Amino acid sequence: MDDPVRLAADELSLMADEKFFVAKAAITKKLRTLLEALHRGLKSELDGVTLLTPDGFDLSKGQFVKGEHLEAFPYQYLDFPKHFDGDVKFTFRSLVWWGHHVVFALLLEGGRLARYKQHLIDRYGIIADPQLCLCLSPSLWEWKQGEGYTLPLTRDRRPEVSAVLAGRSLLKLARFVPFSDAAFREGRLVEIGRATLRSLLPVITP
């Protein structure tokens, strides 16, 4: 016979907390509205910009995604621009990861990757910003921040960034925004997302 499954008092209390679930639904709806506004803002940032894109790229493509299980935490994200074609990826993802942070990330793999890596080094002086970082995981789908996961793009780190890039088969550049940031209370998250994409354009323009 299977052992009985028992729920702890704090688990039962959470399950019975109607206000929590109502609030979660309301926040989820607000986040979708925020991502829709960001989508419009990113489109505006790219208006008239010539991008160095993979074959078959279509600027009209994008997607909104919502889920519950990114390492057991809910998440919502916008991919725009969005290009996934086998081993070739060219995407800007704006991810809200409950319990962690918001991430604005440029995901690049295959295609013209060698050009993107070279642009990052050649144009490092205009890209370098301690709020931006190079993600160190061998996977594009790691979203943690900190030692071992990210390398801030400070102005003195050009040689280090160049050495890290040398043997990599992908490139992920990101800005992380903690939920404690005043940008949330002040309604500036769309502005930060737009500014992040704008600051990374030298990597993906001719």
Residue 1: the pLDDT is: 75
Domain membership flag for residue 3: no
Domain-embedded: residue 178: yes
For 87, phi then psi, to 5°, come to: -85, 0
pLDDT digits (tens, 9 = 90+) for 24-57: 999 999 999 999 999 999 999 999 999 999 999 9
Task: Please give the single-letter amino acid code of residue 57.
Answer: F
Examine residue 4 and state whether it is found in any structural domain, yes or no: no
What are the phi and psi torsion angles at 188 (to 5°)? -110, 15
Quick one: DSSP state of residue 136?
Answer: -
- Residue-level pLDDT at 94: 98
* Mean of pLDDT values over 166-192: 96
Residue type at 178 in one-letter notation? P
Give this prediction's pTM. 0.95
Give the count of domains, the chain: 1
Give the CA distances from residue 197 to residues 46, 138, 161, 193, in Å, rounded to whole numbers and listed in that order: 9, 22, 19, 6
Residue 195 CA to residue 45 CA, distance in Å, equals 9
Condensed to tens digits (0 to 9), the pLDDT of residues 98-144 reads 999 999 999 999 999 999 999 999 999 999 999 999 999 999 999 99
pLDDT digits (tens, 9 = 90+) for 82-99: 999 999 999 999 999 999
Q: Are 203 and 116 in contact (CB under 8 A)?
A: yes
Domain encompassing residue 98: 9-204
Q: What is the CATH number of the domain that holds 132?
A: 3.30.930.20
In a domain, 50, yes or no: yes
pLDDT for 162 beyond 90: yes
**Nearest-CA neighbor of 74 among 99, 94, 92, 104?**
99
Distance from chain centroid for Cα 67:
15
Q: What is the pLDDT of residue 175?
A: 98
Strands of 26-100, DSSP E: 63-70, 73-79, 84-85, 88-97
Q: Which residue has the tokens 């013209």?
A: 112
Instruction: Evaluate whether residue 43 is within a structural domain.
Output: yes
Q: How far, in whole angstroms, is CA 35 from its chain's centroid?
A: 12
Quote the pLDDT of residue 167: 85
Domain membership flag for residue 16: yes
**Residue 177 in 3-state DSSP?**
strand
The answer to the question of residue 100 being in a domain is: yes
Q: Would you say residue 118 lies in a domain? A: yes
Cis peptide before 74 (omega within 30 of 0): no
